[in-house]
Structure 1
């Protein structure tokens, strides 16, 4: 199955300091490989108009639900997710993570996941700027992310 993450409303390449947020410059976002905090897929600048990532996953039936696994899928059965990692990129091109958004699969409606397995496509659509204008972080579930299973 293909998981396509379609992101919009990125926060910008600069996010100034506010209470509880130190501020960062030259911000980028990418998908973190499973158990490899410093390895990312598809870095996009924080001021991009949009970002899209396509991830391969397998769906296995476990009793009454689907279990998604793949090289970018984190967590244990029943608690799987994908990390979108935010960080800065220095002059040498080195990425330093400062926060992550966890796209939690437990927020996917069962009917959508059933259709995604049938269609071989699961789509997540979300904005990447939080209510304070910072990079979106923490656990992300509906209504912050919209899951769908379009036909190919």
Structure 2
């Protein structure tokens, strides 16, 4: 299934800019598609495997973390120096928070599952921890 994550409102503190902070999506242990906080927005497109297990839909693949029943994607924040990414914070986007009918429709290739979220928290810092609706909205497009 195809998933697109659209991030807006990247944090703009001078400290984050000076430390060349980026955000990307974690693929196994590597952070891919790194976008600097100076960008207007961030978009990632991923292909995620899905399968039926005892009548339930389970997702997997290199982008997916967590055990069955608690699968999620990571958006990882880190400073970049000499092209080395040093992670300091992560946000979890849980598949359990995606409405079941949308996840099923994406699995059946009836559209792209799209998650939209602001990447700055209430304190002006990079959004981290579990990101739940209404902080993230899921649609099928």
**TM-score in terms of structure 2 length:** 0.91
* Matching residue of 2:113: 122
Q: What is the aligned length?
A: 140
Provide the alpha-carbon RMSD of the alignment: 1.8
Corresponding residue to 2:72 among 59, 62, 81: 81
* Matching residue of 2:45: 54
- Unpaired segments ≥5 residues, structure 1: 17-23
Q: Aligned partners of 2:58, 2:128: CA distance in 1, in Å?
A: 24
Q: Is the 8 A contact 1:85 1:101 kept in 2?
A: yes
**How do 1:102-113 and structure 2 match up within 5 A?**
102-113=92-103
* Matching residue of 2:12: 12
- Unpaired segments ≥5 residues, structure 2: none
Q: Is the 8 A contact 1:4 1:53 kept in 2?
A: yes
Deviation >3 Å, runs of 4+: 13-16
* Matching residue of 2:88: 98
SS at match of 2:12: coil
